[in-house]
């Protein structure tokens, strides 16, 4: 019984010491907390997608997906735009009519006709390309103009070329429907008016040349059909006889030289 107060005093003293030790440890950890937080490096911002630097076309803050999308869209539309503003349409229509008139469905092949039409287009458009290089590309390479200014300057030689082969009758409806002020001279017309008018004129010219090209071969078909009918060869298709005769006539007359030469002379 005499040892009970001594045991209680020891328990109270041990509890007080543990409490003091816990408070001291808590204060020590609290004091070191700001130092630990300050020692942790701040998180770095997530790296942004880099953009492709296109002189004159890159916009500050643009991203890689949008730049790639615009670039591929321009590359997709570029062949259609170039072929619509060049003699390619007229030349290809003439070759199509020639193959139909000869009666050879697959000779020459489409790839052959396309290749020949592309090189003839390059031959006709070379002076225009040199003019575009002089007035827009060379100043752009020197850095004296921006990309958009180069595009505007390069449109002038193309506009002059297209207006040279565009009929006023084809220009009139597009000028009227565009609701633009009547220009003082043809060079003031916008490209949205000149390009469709030029394509319409080229289609008409190509069909005119093709119709004239079709006539001699049509005469051969009619003569062969009349002869085979008169001699009673009803079961023999006239095409079997007329096709070799047309090819022979075309080869003897040096037809490719005449067709290509006449098509090129229509631009000079």
Rounded to the nearest integer, the mean pLDDT of the chain is: 75
Per DSSP, the three-state class of 56 is coil
Ordered alpha helix ranges (H), 231-254: 238-252
Question: Under a CB-based contact definition with an 8 Å cutoff, are residues 259 and 91 in contact?
Answer: no
Residues 240-251: tens digit of each pLDDT: 777 888 888 888
pLDDT value at 54 more than 70 = no
3-state secondary structure 76-143: HHHHHHHHHCCCHHHHHHHHHHHHHHHCCCCCCCHHHHHHHHHHHHHHHHHHHHHHHHHHHHHHHHHC
Counting DSSP H helices and E strands in the chain, the numbers are 10, 0
Question: What confidence tens digit (pLDDT) does each residue in 9-30 have?
Answer: 545 555 556 556 555 555 554 4
Q: % helix / strand / coil in the chain, to the nearest 5? A: 75, 0, 25
pLDDT at 113 over 60: yes
Residue 89 CB burial class (10 angstroms; 0-12, 13-18, ≥19) = buried
């Amino acid at each position: 019984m005499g040892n009970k107060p001594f045991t209680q005093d020891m328990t109270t003293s041990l509890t007080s010491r543990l409490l003091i030790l816990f408070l001291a440890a808590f204060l020590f950890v609290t004091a070191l907390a700001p130092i630990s937080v300050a020692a942790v490096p701040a998180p770095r911002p997530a790296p942004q997608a880099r953009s492709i630097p296109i002189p004159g076309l890159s916009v500050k803050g643009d991203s890689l997906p949008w730049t790639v999308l615009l670039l591929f869209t321009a590359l997709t539309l570029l062949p259609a735009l170039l072929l619509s503003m060049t003699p390619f349409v007229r030349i290809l229509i003439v070759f199509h009519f020639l193959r139909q008139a000869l009666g050879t469905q697959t000779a020459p092949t489409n790839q052959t006709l396309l290749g020949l039409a592309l090189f003839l287009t390059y031959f006709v458009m070379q002076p225009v390309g040199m003019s575009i290089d002089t007035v827009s590309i060379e100043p752009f390479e020197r850095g004296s103009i921006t990309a958009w200014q180069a595009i505007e300057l390069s449109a002038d030689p193309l506009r002059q070329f297209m207006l040279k082969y565009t009929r006023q009758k084809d220009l009139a409806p597009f000028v009227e429907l565009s609701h633009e002020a009547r220009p003082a001279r043809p060079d003031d017309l916008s490209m949205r008016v000149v390009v469709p008018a030029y394509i319409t004129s080229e289609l008409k010219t190509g069909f005119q040349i093709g119709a004239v090209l079709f006539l001699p071969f049509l005469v051969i078909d009619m003569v062969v059909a009349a002869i085979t009918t008169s001699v009673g060869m009803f079961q023999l298709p006239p095409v079997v006889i007329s096709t070799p005769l047309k090819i022979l006539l075309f080869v003897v007359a040096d037809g490719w030289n005449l067709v290509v030469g006449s098509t090129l002379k229509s631009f000079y």
